[in-house]
Structure 1
Amino acid sequence: MKIEIWSDVMCPFCYIGKRNFETALEQFSNKNGIEVEWKSFQLDPSLPEVQDSNYTDYLMVSKGLGRPQVEGMLNNVTQMAKGVGLEYDFDRAVMVNSFKAHRVLQLAKMRGLGDAAEERLFRAFFTEGRNIADDETLLELGKEAGLNETEIRSSLSDERYSDMVRQDIQEARAIGVTGVPFFVFNRKYAVSGAQPPQAFLQTLEKAYAEWREANPEIKIEVTKGQSCSIDGVCD
Structure 2
Amino acid sequence: MNKRELYERKFGARAPAIVEAMTATFAEMGETYSIGGNVGDTFDSHRLLAYAESLDDDYATQNALVEELFKDYFTREKCVSDRDVLLAAAQAVGLQDAAKVLDDPTAFADTVEDQKRAFAGRHQIRGVPYFIIDGKYHLSGAQPPDILAEAIEEAIGVA
- The interval holding the TM-score normalised by the smaller chain is 0.7 to 0.9
Does residue 39 of structure 2 align to residue 95 of structure 1? yes
Gaps of 5+ in 2: none
Instruction: Report which structure shows greater RCO (CA 8 Å, sep ≥6).
Output: 1
Q: Deviations over 1:164-209 (max 9, x none)?
A: 1111111112133333322223323333333344433343334334
- Match in the other structure for 2:118: 171
The answer to whether the 8 A contact 2:47-2:107 is kept is no
Does residue 140 of structure 2 align to residue 192 of structure 1? yes
Separation (CA, whole Å) in 1 of partners of 2:139 and 2:52: 24
Q: 2:90 aligns with which of 121, 134, 142?
A: 142
| Change in 2 beyond 3 A, CA 1:195/1:75 | closer
Separation (CA, whole Å) in 2 of partners of 1:86 and 1:197: 14
Separation (CA, whole Å) in 2 of partners of 1:169 and 1:142: 22
Q: 2:80 aligns with which of 99, 109, 132?
A: 132
Q: Deviations over 1:9-33 (max 9, x none)?
A: xxxxxxxxxxxxxxxxxxxxxxxxx
| Change in 2 beyond 3 A, CA 1:183/1:70 | closer
- Match in the other structure for 1:155: 101
Does residue 68 of structure 2 align to residue 120 of structure 1? yes
- State percent identity of aligned pairs: 24
The answer to whether the 8 A contact 1:56-1:71 is kept is no
Gaps of 5+ in 1: 1-52, 211-235
Separation (CA, whole Å) in 1 of partners of 2:154 and 2:94: 34
Answer with 188-197 or 115-124: which moved more. 188-197
Instruction: State how 1:26-41 maps to structure 2 within 5 Å.
Output: none
| Change in 2 beyond 3 A, CA 1:81/1:132 | same
The answer to whether the 8 A contact 1:182-1:193 is kept is yes
Between Structure 1 and Structure 2, which shows a larger proportion of helix residues?
A: 2
SS at match of 1:190: strand
Give TM-score scaled by structure 2 length.
0.78
- Match in the other structure for 1:85: 30
Instruction: Tell me how large the CA RMSD over aligned residues is.
Output: 2.6
Separation (CA, whole Å) in 1 of partners of 2:9 and 2:99: 34
Deviation at 1:55, TM superposition (A): 1.7
